[in-house]
Chain A
Amino acid sequence: MLTKRIIPCLDIKDGRTVKGINFVDLRDAGDPVALAAAYASQGADELVFLDISATEENRKTLAQLVRRVAERIDIPFTVGGGISSVADVDLLLHNGADKVSVNSAAVRNPGLIDDLVAKFGSQCIVVALDARRVGGEWKIHLVGGKVPTEVELFTWAREVADRGAGELLFTSMEHDGTKGGFANEALKTLAGQVSIPVIASGGAGTMAHFADAFLLGEADAALAASVFHFNEIPIPELKEYLKDRGIPVRI
């Protein structure tokens, strides 16, 4: 049976992990490769690396990091942050990334999705949707959720899927960082609108929140950062918890 995926997200700046990371038994929590290996051995199903310092100069540093991760890690990983061209994606995939996540550039130039899918295939193209409600309607936001657009979340999600994206990574900017649970209602609507997998992001605080994202939000995967980095929710415990609630997970 296909299982629900648990995905830790690592924020990367200049080739190092940022945000306070307090991971048990890890000498250098700033080393993304060591952290990734620790998560893989804990049972994480995938990893996401988000380059928050994405600039032209940093592209090479990121590519080198991707290569080191790919050499060491035997589970799939996605790289995102500032990807705006076929050449950006080519560099990351060539260095061993399994998937890339595009965000703002796709909103500005939707044809980029078609170009990426034609060149690399749907299976490695994840489109990130950052949204919050404006006057009761979910609107896409850019630049880490700071810049609002007029683009409506569900309309955009359908277009992204039609253009051939392989997966959606939906982050509710309202829920992100609150630890109050995922945006389950919006997730459920999203799941009903597209026939590609949806990754839930933003709001994880307890193990019950993950169960809700799968059972109420009908998400295919759930992504979180700080609850894993600070070991507030150990992945093996989380998976046992989900399994006890009848949610298929890889243990």
Chain B
Amino acid sequence: MDLVIINYGAGNIQSIRFAFERLGFSPELSADPDRISRADKIIFPGVGEASSAMAKLKQSGLDRLIPELKQPVLGICLGMQLMCRRSEEGGTPGLGIFDVDVVRFTGVPKVPQIGWNSIRNLASPLFQGVGEDEYIYLVHSYFAPLGAQTIATSEYGGPYSAALAEGNFFGVQFHPEKSGKTGARILKNFLEI
């Protein structure tokens, strides 16, 4: 399994690497479009601010590469948000893979949402062996509303997309690398897709 984690300078990706190592895989970190194109599976991580992360993708031409990828791609947290049409954070356009606009939480007492929340309406092989209402760990101020591509939901002041999928593209709002056994199972499932 040739697994590559896209390393474009948007946040800490060591935890994701370690999570795959715990599963017995050795992912490579790369920002090189040629290297990424050759991988069997690709992880698209990201933490931080959306418009500056998008600017970094553009600098390296990854904004054009990622939507063209044919192998399974998993976006995590901000990675998932950047795969959407646009984000209210910094008013930036996204990669347009998921037909949904990312918006900020309103009408909730605390932003960001930080902690363990439950996921349900699981509708993807990504959640094979994961039960309804299992807990995953999230840290985010913006979210993707529900849409046709929603494959898992969660609730914070209302329902939102905990995960999205379109063809070979998958995105999770939560951090599977920090979500205990549930998260590890989801990463393992992705490798088996």
Given contacts A71-B18, A74-B22, contact A123 B112 (CB under 8 A): yes
Tell me whether B146 is interfacial, beta carbon within 8 Å: no
- Closest beta carbon of chain A to B161's beta carbon, Å: 16
Give the interface SS of chain B, mostly helix, strand, loop or mixed: mixed
Tell me whether B14 is interfacial, beta carbon within 8 Å: yes
A-B contact pairs, 30 of them (CB 8 A): A2-B115, A2-B117, A2-B156, A3-B116, A70-B15, A70-B18, A71-B22, A74-B19, A74-B178, A75-B178, A75-B179, A76-B175, A98-B12, A98-B178, A120-B11, A121-B11, A121-B47, A121-B49, A123-B48, A123-B114, A166-B112, A195-B109, A195-B111, A196-B110, A196-B111, A197-B115, A220-B110, A220-B114, A220-B115, A250-B135
Tell me whether A221 is interfacial, beta carbon within 8 Å: yes
Contact residues on B (Cβ < 8 Å of other chain), bracket: 35 or more
Chain A residues with a Cβ closer than 8 Å to the other chain, count: 33
- Chain B residues 1 to 58 lying within 8 A of chain A, measured CB to CB, are 11-12, 14-15, 18-19, 21-22, 47-49
Given contacts A123-B139, A123-B140, contact A74 B177 (CB under 8 A): yes
Task: Check A120–B48 contact: CB distance below 8 A.
Answer: yes
Task: Check B15–A250 contact: CB distance below 8 A.
Answer: no
A32 to B179, CA, bound (A): 20
Most central of B110, B117, B141, B155 by chain A CB within 10 Å: B110
Question: Which A residues are CB-close (under 8 A) to B15?
Answer: 70, 96, 98
Question: Which A residues are CB-close (under 8 A) to B189?
Answer: none
Task: Check B180–A75 contact: CB distance below 8 A.
Answer: yes
